[in-house]
Structure 1
Amino acid sequence: MGNLGATVENASPREAGAAALQHRPWTGGGDLSRPLEAIERFLSGAGFDRGPWLAVAFAAGIVAWFALPTKADWIGFLAACAIVAVCGVAPWKSARNYPYLRQALVVIALLAIAGCLTVWARSSIVGEVPIERPIVGTFTAKVLQIEPQPALERDRLILSMREPVTGRAIKVRVNVPGRNLAGKVAIDDVVRFKGRLMPPAPPMLPGAYNFARTAWFSGIAASGSSLGEIAVVKQSGGGGRKLSDMRRALANHIRAQIGDERAGIATALVTGDRGGIMDADAEAMRDSGLAHLLSVSGLHVGAVVGAVYVLSLRVLALSTWLALRLRLPVAAAGIGALAGVGYTLLSGSEVPTVRSCLGALLVLAALSLGREALSLRMLAVAAFCVMLLWPESVTGPSFQMSFGAVLALVAVSTSAPAKNFMQPRDEFLVARVMRHLAMLLLTGLVIDLALMPIGLFHFHRAGIYGALANVTAIPLTTFVVMPLLAGALLLDVVGAGGPLWWLAQVAIDLLTAIAHWFASRPAAVTILPAGQNYAFVVFVAGGLWLGLWSGKVRWLGLPFALLGAGILALAEPPDVLVSGDGRHVGLLEPGGKRLFVLRNGGEGYARDNLMELAGIEGEPALLKEWPGARCNPDFCAVVIVKTGRAWRLLISQGRNGVPERALAAACDRSDIVISDRWLPRSCVPRWFKADRNSLSQTGGIALNLARQELTTVAQSQGNHGWWRPAPQPLKRPARPPGLSAQ
């Protein structure tokens, strides 16, 4: 000890400081261990259900595959997750002190890897390379699916055929003008038609609907329309035809009994065919927050399965012999399962319906085993089943809204305040009914608040009064409309369904009246421009934390959910929108109150996209009406004043030849030039040029002038199979003065 003291005393100040640092009580490892210990204590004492978080980790891997642009990024993500898993199992120092943390690292990382690989494998297996260019000709194909759309005066066919150029087998979607095509053509028939086929369209604008991605995972390589009559070359009498005939016969029978005006909603509830719904009714249902009632999903399948289960259980219980020898809940569950599968097949077996049927079957299995029918663990199992079969659905609104609604329902019903509020007590019947109605209203309000940001993100609009409308519309649909339709169809076997059909008409009229009334209320619809992806991720993360944890810790997710929803609500609309072909341009006036469009497209797809992405409702004005706009048959020159700066735009609208020197001079005076045709290299604006060549690479664009920010469709697509920009043409030499730009 004396030698050590002498050494320190004789040492220089620098050496003494170094010796002191070597013997300091806090080391880097100690600093790191403190947060690790806090996490370990949190995980060990949280008492949470791990199943739902495993489903979240699997979904995160799927989302990562969609978000990352290239194959190298996907491999890097898999490698990073693998490193995390190795760190979880590695025998690092003090590893035994963190068993819960190590387990979480390993399991979450492995499930994220599994999710990424699952969607990657499905994309490689089912994805179909689209046709390279539009094709016009006469085609022979086999009918795979028929979607009657009488409200749009057309039918839609999914066909299997050979590509004329390469001879490969492809699946195409064709719209056939006219009505009652389904009366002539059935599934598995071979047909011949003259038509025009095009590659599936990518998003028209950043944030718009991506049909190309939907077609990729559906195996559709082209879409188009027929240019004449559909001729049946060969009829088929297989099972597909019988099921198609049954569905068509049901739709025709309902239409004959209830009339065309109400048949659209009735047929949608019975067969899943929404093509006959009137536009006014469909818009009212959407704006009132009742659009989910028109799509056969969890509500409808659950109503059918639940009704059959309860009815079967009551009927079987009437027999003492059966009650003593059978487990009646198991037998009733089997009958309910058969009813659910039959209803799914009858309604067309679309992905949301199949997903709902799987969930209903899991609930029946839980009831048969004596387990809780609706729980977070059951929700996680259902989500896993769906993600294994259709991993691409994770990024779609149907998956997010259906599972989000059930998660909100379970979170509210299993919370301690809700349980205390709903505990049985000695009270009058009126008080009990009022308490159940209050709980129903509260649950509907929470579900509506949870789903509103999802609807705003995907559809850019949401109904404000959805909770109130659903409180009346859901019981009316579940307990009145659907039983009346089912009873009327059953009684029609003996010709006695007339009274029930009349009651069904009254109930459907009441349902549409509720939708129209709520849709017509002041400020019934919220319309917002396209929001940022990161804001939606923050909202979803906060919502999952709120729904999946229990106790006070769950409220830590509320600030994040509110932050994400707030950012979405405060999304700033773009100043300039340009479609991928350059033909459609939208300019938002300062203040965001009116949209000016280059071409008057009526109520078409392009106009709707421009208005949705701009967050504008109301009839748009033509660009030539912009204050101070100067337009001729070839170009429009406009000035947008933003944050004190005047932006000069030059937008082409004609196809005539233009002297190159004049065009170059006009470009030189402009900040932004937009054209749907090729512009020569001599056209150099001050900031940005979007012509046919550049737009073929970027797709649609959105410009924010205040931030000088450019957003393109290509930025959100990456190198996934469904995004195939046009090949970059060879650069053309600059034309001599006097020649026209084509």
Structure 2
Amino acid sequence: MRRPFALVGFTYLLAQVAAVFLGTAWALPVACVLLFLMGVTLLLPRLRLSIFPVALCAASLAFGGFAALAPAVTAPGEALDNTDAAISGTFVEAPYRSYDNRYCTVQVDNVDGKPADFRIRLSLPESVVGKAGDRLEGKVHVYLPRGGDGFSSRNYYASQGIAACAYLYSYEPYTVVPQEPASFSHWMQELRASLGKAVEAILPEEEAGLLKGILMGDSSGISPELTADFRTVGLSHVMSVSGLHMTTVANLLLASLLALRVPRKGSAAIASAGVLLFMVVADFVPSAARSGIMCLLYLAGTLLSRRADSLNSLGLAVWVLCLASPYAGADVGLLLSYSATLGLILCSNPLTAWLDARVSSFQYGKRLFHAVHLVLATSVSATLFTLPVIALTFRSVSAVGLLANLLALWPTTLLLQLGLGAAFLQLLLPGTLAAMPLAIPAGWLAKLVKAIVHLLAQVPYASLPVSMGFMLLWIAAVLILLAVCVWMGPSKPLLRTAAWLSCILLLAGIFSYQVSRRDITRIAVADVGSGLSVAVTRNGHALVVGCEGYSTQSLENELQGRGVQSLDGMLLFTHFGEEAHNAAEVLEDYPADRLVLPSGYMDDFLQAEAAEIGETHPYREAAKLTLGSAISVEMVNGAALLNANGVTVLFCPAGVQAENLPEAWRSPHFAVLAQDVEGIEAEYTVLSMDESDVGDAVAGRQQVTATAGLGTVAIEITDGQTCRIRRDA
């Protein structure tokens, strides 16, 4: 067997991802079936000496390991779910800010006076100040992250070794005690924090946040809007510490040391130490550990005067990570990093050579063409291989992913190199201008990357929604095609045919899904906490009803995913405060032909977007909007009623009383409520609320669902009045 570690590592990872999707209940039965199939292959002479017994054995071990080890990771959180507890533990990292909240990972060693050993993600008040290694004692409320099997928040946190989430009761006594003497882990976390502060010292806030995200995978300084733009254009893999980062660190160290005439083996040894240090600073997140192990294997080959096999190195690195954590397959950063690296190993060089051959007869410009071909081949390889992971994780496919990678690859690489150098110079020589020659162009590059990403994210149909069921079937079909190729004997024509068939299947599935969405009225209740924020779309046209809630991101994701460029209309329940601010943010990206809002003083945020509004219609008690001939929305006494081909949907924000509404409105087909409203008798109810507010509102209702932090809830109505309820998790 030419590449045993590649076969075992890749198979183990794929099996672990499947185990994460199926859950612990299915893991052990599947492991037994795979073990039985391995026994069958050992009995068949033709299969006995092939790769199938080894692959089936690795897959069986992955499922069995998940069944045996996964409960130990999640059990502490499940035992304490929705309870209060007095805990003591150690800050794994310094508290950081994200989405206007402060968080910290805490290694818990005592719960209610009993020994414990697990991690929690703790939400902290502003009054709590600490750093990595400090001791915390206090009363917390523990709860499980949202989601179940698959790429859910709960499984993602499990992949990071976090068993539960919690928040600290600030009105209860608590203590934070500095650790003396500081541990090695403490010093590494301090180095990570110092590196982040160095970046913040040399760049403006937004550019510093982007550089920290690219450099260390720290997305706390990146706005939700920019994060969504990166996801839309298919560049999420840039935000995970991966091969790009480790290769940059290793190459910079090697080039610097060789320039100082340090012997090659000595340079490789020092570069290995640098890579290991960067892995520690990156907190050994799986994607960083995978790429770090690969770099160390490459550098070890230099030390031993041997050349490492890339596929074997990648397989070994992935296998080690999967053995260390049963939930490694749930880490999206690892999967994106692994997929991009696999694509580069398999496709980048052959594709570059093929493109170079097309211009081999040219007399001039071959070197320039080679540079262009290298960028093109790298972009195509990374885009194609990360596409399945992005589709499964974000339920969408980027139509501009290839172009985004082409335009952003070199600026991102240069930003990483210059930013890393500038950060270390600032760290070593604080209070001087030594870092500025590198920091200034790094800032320009950060602005360029942001501009590229934001511009491409505004392209119509930049992100195409796909069916989760189809993506799972497509991945299964690709694996079957690959198995058939192996069975029939690997050959370039056969592999090429399988690749083309895979692409055709994918494009056909995406196209057919889009066709199936035609002539469907989709009423998407965005998951924005307690408040109404609804997008009504049909064939690329859209109305927005309400812009309440803590963020517009869910609403804008919905509009973007439906290929909306501008709004036919927007209807607001209020004309000031949070809703007006949110409406202005939406109008900045999606100009509206008509804005309907209560009469009175228009909020300053809305006035600033006046140029993006075709007509403004204030109302006192009643108003009306239409979307083509099939859809109308009426507004009466603070509530809105949508009529789509005879199907009625009532929208009630907070403060609406049923007795103030027309009697015919009180019995709609669907009711979308931001709070419990007595007297509304709907066939089906959608609650647009926080999880903590849902309990009382559900009472007495037969058919009900809620956003509650679980994702957007969509009502889809066909012209034949067939209705479906869907959730976009």
Number of residue pairs aligned between Structure 1 and Structure 2: 632
Query: 1:242 is matched with which residue?
Result: 187
Distance 1:451-1:361 versus aligned 2 partners, 3 A rule:
same
Q: Secondary structure at the match of 2:91?
A: strand
Query: 2:459 is matched with which residue?
Result: 523
The answer to whether the 8 A contact 1:630-1:638 is kept is yes
Structure 1: runs of 5+ lacking an equivalent: 1-46, 319-327, 717-742
Counterparts of 1:176-575 in structure 2, within 5 Å, are: 176=124, 184-191=129-136, 198-202=143-147, 210-217=152-159, 218-224=161-167, 232-237=175-180, 238-239=182-183, 240-258=185-203, 260=205, 262-268=207-213, 273-277=218-222, 292-312=237-257, 328-329=264-265, 331-373=266-308, 375-415=310-350, 418=353, 421=356, 431-452=366-387, 454-459=389-394, 460=396, 462=398, 463-464=400-401, 465-477=403-415, 479-487=417-425, 489-490=427-428, 492=429, 498-517=433-452, 519-520=454-455, 523=459, 526-539=462-475, 542=478, 551-555=492-496, 556-568=498-510, 571-572=513-514, 575=522
The answer to whether the 8 A contact 2:343-2:384 is kept is no
Please, which of 699, 705, 717 is the counterpart of residue 705 of structure 1? 717
Q: Secondary structure at the match of 1:364?
A: helix
1:579 to partner: Cα distance: 7.2
Distance 1:89-1:246 versus aligned 2 partners, 3 A rule:
closer
The answer to whether the 8 A contact 1:394-1:400 is kept is yes
Query: 2:649 is matched with which residue?
Result: 649
Cα distance in 1 for residues equivalent to 2:146 and 2:714: 18
Q: Which has the higher strand share?
A: 2
The answer to whether the 8 A contact 2:657-2:677 is kept is no
Cα distance in 2 for residues equivalent to 1:488 and 1:366: 33
Note the alpha carbon deviations across 1:106-147, whole angstroms, 9 max, x for none.
Answer: 333222211112222332121143477766899765423225
Counterparts of 1:687-698 in structure 2, within 5 Å, are: 692=698
1:236 to partner: Cα distance: 0.8
Query: 2:17 is matched with which residue?
Result: 63
The answer to whether the 8 A contact 1:633-1:654 is kept is no
Note the alpha carbon deviations across 1:203-236, whole angstroms, 9 max, x for none.
Answer: 8xx99x7323323443332244775799654221
Cα distance in 2 for residues equivalent to 1:262 and 1:583: 32
Query: 1:10 is matched with which residue?
Result: none
Note the alpha carbon deviations across 1:147-179, whole angstroms, 9 max, x for none.
Answer: 533x85553212355667999776432344659
The answer to whether the 8 A contact 1:300-1:478 is kept is yes
Cα distance in 2 for residues equivalent to 1:431 and 1:339: 36
Cα distance in 2 for residues equivalent to 1:193 and 1:632: 50
The answer to which of 122-131 and 564-573 deviates more is: 564-573
The answer to which of 470-479 and 297-306 deviates more is: 470-479
Structure 2: runs of 5+ lacking an equivalent: 574-623, 627-631, 688-696
The answer to whether the 8 A contact 2:411-2:445 is kept is no
Distance 1:611-1:215 versus aligned 2 partners, 3 A rule:
farther
Cα distance in 1 for residues equivalent to 2:281 and 2:686: 52
Cα distance in 1 for residues equivalent to 2:248 and 2:2: 31
Distance 1:682-1:70 versus aligned 2 partners, 3 A rule:
farther
Letter of the 1:333 partner, please give it: A
Distance 1:260-1:401 versus aligned 2 partners, 3 A rule:
closer
Distance 1:611-1:482 versus aligned 2 partners, 3 A rule:
same
Cα distance in 2 for residues equivalent to 1:70 and 1:681: 43
Cα distance in 1 for residues equivalent to 2:37 and 2:58: 12
Cα distance in 2 for residues equivalent to 1:514 and 1:609: 20
Query: 2:94 is matched with which residue?
Result: 146
Cα distance in 2 for residues equivalent to 1:173 and 1:49: 40
Cα distance in 2 for residues equivalent to 1:255 and 1:141: 29
The answer to whether the 8 A contact 2:535-2:555 is kept is no
Letter of the 2:463 partner, please give it: I
The answer to whether the 8 A contact 1:519-1:525 is kept is no
1:185 to partner: Cα distance: 0.9
Note the alpha carbon deviations across 1:50-100, whole angstroms, 9 max, x for none.
Answer: 6544444323432332333672x434323332332232233xxxx43x246
The answer to whether the 8 A contact 1:138-1:193 is kept is yes
Cα distance in 2 for residues equivalent to 1:682 and 1:166: 49
1:453 to partner: Cα distance: 5.4
| Root-mean-square deviation over aligned CA pairs | 4.9
Letter of the 1:600 partner, please give it: E
The answer to whether the 8 A contact 2:545-2:572 is kept is yes
Letter of the 1:528 partner, please give it: L
Cα distance in 1 for residues equivalent to 2:217 and 2:14: 31
Letter of the 2:494 partner, please give it: V
Query: 1:603 is matched with which residue?
Result: 551
Distance 1:174-1:418 versus aligned 2 partners, 3 A rule:
same
Query: 1:732 is matched with which residue?
Result: none
1:710 to partner: Cα distance: 4.3
Q: Secondary structure at the match of 1:275?
A: helix
Q: Secondary structure at the match of 2:105?
A: strand
TM-score, L = length of structure 2: 0.71
The answer to which of 626-635 and 209-218 deviates more is: 626-635
TM-score, L = length of structure 1: 0.70
The answer to which of 509-518 and 279-288 deviates more is: 279-288
Cα distance in 1 for residues equivalent to 2:83 and 2:179: 28
Letter of the 2:455 partner, please give it: S
1:526 to partner: Cα distance: 0.9
Cα distance in 1 for residues equivalent to 2:447 and 2:409: 14
Q: Secondary structure at the match of 1:594?
A: strand
The answer to whether the 8 A contact 1:191-1:231 is kept is yes
1:340 to partner: Cα distance: 0.9
Distance 1:527-1:306 versus aligned 2 partners, 3 A rule:
same
Query: 1:6 is matched with which residue?
Result: none
**Corresponding position: 1:589 with 2:537:** yes
**Corresponding position: 1:638 with 2:642:** yes
Cα distance in 2 for residues equivalent to 1:392 and 1:473: 33
Cα distance in 2 for residues equivalent to 1:371 and 1:603: 54
Q: Secondary structure at the match of 1:157?
A: strand
1:301 to partner: Cα distance: 1.7
Please, which of 59, 64, 86 is the counterpart of residue 39 of structure 2? 86
